[in-house]
Structure 1
Amino acid sequence: MSKKQNNISLVWFKNDLRTNDNRSLLKAIANSHKVIGIYVFDPKQFDTNQFGFIKTDKFRAQFLIETVKELKANLESLNISLFIYFKNTAKAINNLNETFNFDAIFYQKEWTKEEANCITEVKTNLPLNINFIDTYDQFLFHPEDISYQFKDIPRVFTEFRKKCEKESSIRALKKIESVLPKANLVNNITSTPTIKDLGLEEFTTSTKTAFPFKGGENEALKRLENYFFETKKLGFYKKTRNGLIGTDYSSKFSAWLANGSISSKTIYWKIKEFEQNNFKNESTYWLVFELIWRDYFKYVSLKHGNKIFKIGGILNTDYGWETNKLKINKWINGQTKEPFVNANMLELKQTGWMSNRGRQNVASYFSKNLELDWRIGASYFESQLIDYDVHSNYGNWMYISGVGNDPRSRKFNVKLQSERYDTSGKFQRLWLQESLF
């Protein structure tokens, strides 16, 4: 689109809560005389879902509140006002349009069912003359740069990874070169809701948490600087990534990636900077490897659509899972027969965080040992996890449960996993508060 005289554009922020490397924001600034932002805390995201869980519970909600506050401040430094609402998204955008009469709305492209339905509802409630400009902006390898059509995305990750690494490149970061004039700022009395406003329980973060971080773009960049350049922990990532206790056994970028307060490309190019200025080893590559896994699950959902939410997954396989409420509640409350599962589940319940090693074990135990409907476990993770991402969450649960992209359909031996990754029992004692051995 071309810049018109006195045209006004809206940037609709969703899971792209950053000013750096944000294509929608850059396009809006380049093509508009006036730019306004909006973020909506939609009540649907805090309702109880079909499995009885609050879709976005207190831990992720608090991280989101912190993120939106920081986004508002960062946008103001660019002379862009961010309007924040706790109401139906379509109504919020429609009300704002009645005041400003937008020529265009810029936003990150989404395709999973709830997100797509929300976009459709917004479009339906607005005048037809508004241009909607969506942008794929949550990938490491952009969809235009990979050698696959979506329907041809391979079932096996390794094939996808090797072809992307060989034939595709990572796009350069895009920075905002100029600040809009102060006249772009408009009167804005909206504010970020509190946890209580959202109908959720106030809490104090546990001192035992391995994720004592705050939400926000600035916080994400601080963590990146610390993990890469101040402590050089990146250089040991592959050796420590299966840890269970502490802030530095893994990068902890997933929460900021999940709500888009940092882009995967930003992390990638900082890894390249680290390798150039310090050293390159298997650990520095392995963080890129994990970013590609994240990409892969997004492409899996692009290929298979709503199948990722079906009980048979992308394989249409039925294992005869149960929905035994007693078993489910014991798993949630850390009351199973396996102490390692219990410790991980209590960590999640009390902090909104769990290690990657823990997630694999508790998911395998839920679906393969307890033989429970894997979607219930995935839904509980959606409710609790600070770093919930729809593609990675449902992709991983399918993978572990035997209805996704793992052709082996493995079952974790929780006791052996416990002995290997919590040899002294320190993690289990931390969360079970008793000596187990």
Structure 2
Amino acid sequence: MATTVVWFRDDLRVTDNPTLADAVDATDVVVPVYIFDPREYGETRYETEKRGPHRTKFRRESVHDLRASLQDRGGSLFVRQGRPEVVLPELADRTDADAVYAQTKPAVEELEREQGVRDALPESVSFERRWTHTLHHISDLPTAYDRIDDTFTPWRKEVERDSTVRDLVSAPDTIRTPDLEPGTIPTQSEVGVAEPPTDDRAVLPFEGGESAGKRRLSEYVWAGDHLSEYKGTRNELLGANYSSKFSPWLAAGCLSPRWIHAEVQRYEDDRVANEDTYWLVFELLWRDFFQFQFRKHGADFFTPTGIRDVDKRWDRDREAFRRWADGATGVPFVDANMRELNRTGYMSNRGRQNVASFLADAIGIDWRWGAAYFESRLIDYDVASNWGNWAYQAGVGNDSRDNYFDVLSQAERYDSEAAYVTTWLPELAELPPTFAHRPWRMSDREQTEYGVELGVDYPGPMFDIEARYSELRNT
């Protein structure tokens, strides 16, 4: 009787999961396993937590949901703690497995883990990889990944013209698994991570799992009919539906990008097709682009000079970085976004661009510190999207331009009434929008009038931010 171990990684779903479907089709018995690897926790080289509270909670919930989905099909999910290169060979030996099937990922650590497993397996056990994390399959690219354009727009146009999205793979109806100890899903404390804070200002509760991801898509696309206005609202800052917010479920693989694409097509057929509906697919293509870029450039994305070998002088002021991370820079738009991130594990795309630019361009701190901090805090952290976007903003990555975001003008444009800033900085709630965005302009009399004393009720700015942007404009 043929047996296959299925190693779940960032593909915590049963719908459109070729790794699981192929294993079920190829063998009589499958051994689905998720492994809590201790290397995914603890401290990074940048003195940041590798996987923080919100993302850990979301991952645990996703594993619970995957286990329930497999049980609904007559099987089980076996949960283990340890290093995959130790756990998987032991599990293959115990079940007399013929093969291990696994999702493959493009980034350095993920590939190293795969190679470690491959090397640890006996020759009698094959290692089968499946590419399942992108909209377009890597084998279907018009130009091979190692020769693709490093600029998004020509790559996108070529893919849209010359590639197609593969058909969805149905979830298995039944799954036969062996009689093994299922293992318990560890608590937050058991993996050394604190419980996340709760905050009723969060844009969504972000429950992990394929079931919750599908509910979110149904609510956003079908019940709320928000897809028809996606492009026009995606730069807003408050509320559940200014953007799709599918990214946490995409990052953990609870939702397949192809399944989202199919739902967009169905919406376009049933209701409306316009620039807004296209824009969600456009964003999926950006996500694809970074995945393939990481496959092409690998470890170069983690160097100070990035994939373009741009020699910039980066500061490594730990105190300045801490003020940025804590939301205590004295620049309200930056601080509001960072406080939202710390409290909820989420931040809008507009916010991410601005706080990244503030750290890298205005303060001049090593951009990798910011990328590592996002890795710890973001509930939707994806290695390629996160590090690719940070390198882009720092001017050392793809499509990099020597442009910066003026967070002051950005705040006044996208938060003209200061509703976002005062939501996350309630100490500024009594200020008119002009002062809420630039509190340092208040005189002593105005500080007394509004009851906001800089340096007491809210931090004074780290430096003369208006002068700094004047310098940037003139360089």
TM-score normalised per structure 2: 0.89
Match of 1:32 among 27, 33, 48: 27
**TM-align CA RMSD:** 1.2
Is 1:122 aligned to 2:114, yes or no? no
- Note the alpha carbon deviations across 1:114-171, whole angstroms, 9 max, x for none: 1111112222222121011101111111112121112221121111111111111111
What amino acid does structure 2 have at the position aligned with 1:289? F
- Note the alpha carbon deviations across 1:155-202, whole angstroms, 9 max, x for none: 211111111111111111010354145xx3523341111111111112
Structure 2 counterparts to residues 6-155 of structure 1, below 5 A: 6-155=1-150
Is 1:206 aligned to 2:199, yes or no? yes
What CA distance in whole angstroms lies between the structure 1 residues aligned with 2:273 and 2:182?
49
Aligned to 1:401: 394
Is 1:289 aligned to 2:290, yes or no? no
What amino acid does structure 2 have at the position aligned with 1:15? D
What CA distance in whole angstroms lies between the structure 2 residues aligned with 1:243 and 1:192?
37
Structure 2 counterparts to residues 295-306 of structure 1, below 5 A: 295-306=288-299
Structure 2 counterparts to residues 186-225 of structure 1, below 5 A: 186-225=179-218
What CA distance in whole angstroms lies between the structure 2 residues aligned with 1:394 and 1:280?
32
What CA distance in whole angstroms lies between the structure 1 residues aligned with 2:180 and 2:383?
35
What amino acid does structure 1 have at the position aligned with 2:53? K
What CA distance in whole angstroms lies between the structure 2 residues aligned with 1:339 and 1:296?
33
Is 1:267 aligned to 2:260, yes or no? yes
| Shift in Å, 1:430 | 0.9
Instruction: Determine helix, strand or coil for the equivalent of 2:77.
Output: strand
Cα pair 1:304 1:314 within 8 Å, conserved: yes
Instruction: Determine helix, strand or coil for the equivalent of 2:329.
Output: coil
| Shift in Å, 1:316 | 0.6
Aligned to 2:437: none
Cα pair 1:81 1:186 within 8 Å, conserved: no
Instruction: Determine helix, strand or coil for the equivalent of 1:210.
Output: coil
Cα pair 2:76 2:182 within 8 Å, conserved: no
Instruction: Determine helix, strand or coil for the equivalent of 1:405.
Output: coil
Is 1:349 aligned to 2:342, yes or no? yes
- Note the alpha carbon deviations across 1:250-296, whole angstroms, 9 max, x for none: 10100000010111000001000001111111110000000000001
Aligned to 2:375: 382
What CA distance in whole angstroms lies between the structure 2 residues aligned with 1:204 and 1:340?
22
The count of corresponding residues between Structure 1 and Structure 2 is 430
Cα pair 2:62 2:208 within 8 Å, conserved: yes
| Shift in Å, 1:233 | 0.6
Cα pair 1:400 1:406 within 8 Å, conserved: no
Instruction: Determine helix, strand or coil for the equivalent of 2:191.
Output: coil
Cα pair 1:221 1:262 within 8 Å, conserved: yes
| Shift in Å, 1:82 | 1.1
What amino acid does structure 1 have at the position aligned with 2:166? R
| Shift in Å, 1:90 | 1.9
Cα pair 2:106 2:292 within 8 Å, conserved: no
Q: Which residues of structure 2 form unaligned runs of 5+?
A: 433-475
What CA distance in whole angstroms lies between the structure 2 residues aligned with 1:90 and 1:180?
25
Which protein shows a greater Rg?
2
Aligned to 2:162: 167
| Shift in Å, 1:307 | 0.6
What amino acid does structure 1 have at the position aligned with 2:115? T
Aligned to 2:238: 245
- Note the alpha carbon deviations across 1:73-108, whole angstroms, 9 max, x for none: 101222232111222222222332232121001111
Match of 1:278 among 253, 265, 271: 271
Cα pair 1:399 1:409 within 8 Å, conserved: no
What CA distance in whole angstroms lies between the structure 2 residues aligned with 1:407 and 1:231?
36
What amino acid does structure 1 have at the position aligned with 2:394? S
Cα pair 2:24 2:172 within 8 Å, conserved: no
Aligned to 2:226: 233
Q: Which residues of structure 1 form unaligned runs of 5+?
A: 1-5
What amino acid does structure 1 have at the position aligned with 2:64? K
What CA distance in whole angstroms lies between the structure 1 residues aligned with 2:55 and 2:7?
20
Aligned to 1:179: 174
139-148 vs 89-98, which deviates more? 89-98
Instruction: Determine helix, strand or coil for the equivalent of 2:340.
Output: helix
Cα pair 1:79 1:185 within 8 Å, conserved: no
Match of 2:310 among 317, 320, 333: 317
What CA distance in whole angstroms lies between the structure 2 residues aligned with 1:41 and 1:385?
19
Cα pair 1:146 1:168 within 8 Å, conserved: yes
| Shift in Å, 1:409 | 2.4
